[in-house]
Amino acid sequence: MATANKNLSNYDKNQLINAKDLKFGVVVSEWNDEITNGLYNGVLETLLDCGATTDNIIKWDVPGSFELIFGCKKMHETYQLDCVIAIGCVIEGETKHFDFVCEGVTQGIKDLNIKYDIPTIFCVLTDKNIQQSRDRSGGAHGNKGVEAAVAALKMIALNQ
């Protein structure tokens, strides 16, 4: 769990596989784009730092977090990839909509990991307020996009 006293986005790229020849799909929700763009930047910077090339990173935008499931599914079916990363942000409101979206996206990403032999990484913030999301997309608690990219590299290594 991220805390104010620890930035969980620190990593040692010498402990990770080189991403030079790997292909990545990244599906990004347009909803809460201040946050999802920050998460995407964390993913992109980390993958490039670990050897990936921009030509091997395909980015698709979808309207919201619920649409990440279909976007990731189509990404799996359209390209020969080593990994797909789903980026979204759902902020709790006054209704149960938050619960339904979070549960649906979580189960949908899980289902993609069962269906395809290529990992789908869950980079969806589910916070109580916008400040918590800011803190986790490049703020006080680092950037969960960085963590998603590191998880992607570790899962690709596991899958090889």
How do residues 112-130 score in pLDDT, each as one tens digit?
Answer: 999 999 999 999 999 999 9
pLDDT, tens digit, for every residue of 73-90? 999 999 999 999 999 999
Contact criterion met (CB below 8 Å) for 27 and 71: yes
Sketch out the chain's domains with CATH numbers.
Answer: 28-159 (3.40.50.960)
Q: What residues of the chain score a pLDDT lower than 70?
A: 1-8
- The rounded distance, in Å, linking the Cα atoms of 90 and 27 is 15
> How would you list the strands of the sheet with 120-127, edge to edge?
57-62, 24-29, 83-91, 120-127
Specify whether 97 is catalytic. yes
Instruction: Tell me phi and psi for residue 6, to 5 degrees.
Output: -145, 125
Cα–Cα distance for residue pair 48/138, rounded to 1 Å: 17
Q: Is the dihedral of CA 21, 22, 23, 25 positive or negative?
A: negative
pLDDT at res. 1? 43
pLDDT recorded at residue 8: 56
User: In this structure, what token pair is assigned to residue 86?
Assistant: 């789903």
Catalytic one of 97, 110, 115, 128: 97
pLDDT value, residue 5? 56
The predicted structure's pLDDT at residue 6: 56
Q: How far apart are CA 118 and CA 150, in angstroms?
A: 15
Residue 87 to residues 16, 21, 133, 154, Cα–Cα distance (Å) = 21, 22, 12, 18
Q: pTM for the whole thing?
A: 0.93
